[in-house]
Structure 1
Amino acid sequence: MMFTAGLTASEIADLCKQNIATVHLHLKNREKYDDGFYSKHLEALKARGPHRISTKWRKRVKQAHDFYLTRGHLPLHSGNSSEHSLAEWIAEQRRLYARNELPLAKLVLLEPLPGWHVNARIQEREMLWLNKLKLFIDFVAIEHRMPRYRTYATPEEHVLGVWVHNQHQRRTENRLELWKLEALNEEVPGWRSRA
């Protein structure tokens, strides 16, 4: 029944806690007595689609959970070969998630893994942006003016002036993310250029 529902022999062996050779033998015997047994399996397997939850996928998600529980963080690309391999696997799940190609069943199994869907590089860039925003807010509160990028008084003011100028450019070109625009408008009303 499981085989004709599209499960592979290794998935059946895993679920039934049986040796895969035993499962193969049973399936081979069943093929003798049930015409079309194997074709039913192929049809059901195809219907499961390319992103079905396989035994290998379940093992990888369990490895990721175990890694997180023992280390307190997700696997890193800079770790040893097995850690790197697991980090690559998580990155692939993240790419599929971003393209909306992960089925709900996989999302449910990945959910207990904190931050699996967050791109670390994007998260780091956003943290840097938030740090610049805080420096910008502090500058305006202390100096009572906007930082300048041309006639600046200090190198720190120049850095902030360039940052604000870049935010103006991105806003003008509709490339500034909405949450960043809202944060700037809320924290420093009047920050926008007149252009």
Structure 2
Amino acid sequence: MTQPKRKTPYSEWVMMYRTGIPAKQIAAVTRVAESVIRFHLARAAEQDPGLRAVHRAAAAPVLKRVTEPGHRNLQEVMAFYEAEGRLPVSGRSRLESTLAEWLTRRRRDAADGTLSPTYAEALDTIPG
């Protein structure tokens, strides 16, 4: 089945994208191939270089979920802080380096606004 030709970029899809809706979801809602949506959005981005930044700002952050390994790491970071009186740092031991890397990723999640509230509440009990 052929789809009707639309003026490029199609303003309705660009408007949806500006509100933070991803191209994949626009394609699903409009029943148009994702490649067609992406083509139109690419043309729109050529005309408006700030389009992608507007999309990212409008998109709701997806919160990271709490996993069993993540919960264990959280407990180990909390225990480490209780025992050592400091946060783990890389380079001291393998376990401490692993915990430091996990904590760095959670800080990045917090900065991106995607940190799980479970992690945020527990880590807020640690100063700094």
Q: TM-score, normalised by structure 2?
A: 0.48
TM (norm. structure 1) is 0.32
> Which of 1 and 2 has higher RCO (CA within 8 Å, sep 6+)?
2
Q: Report which of the two structures shows the higher radius of gyration computed on alpha carbons.
A: 1
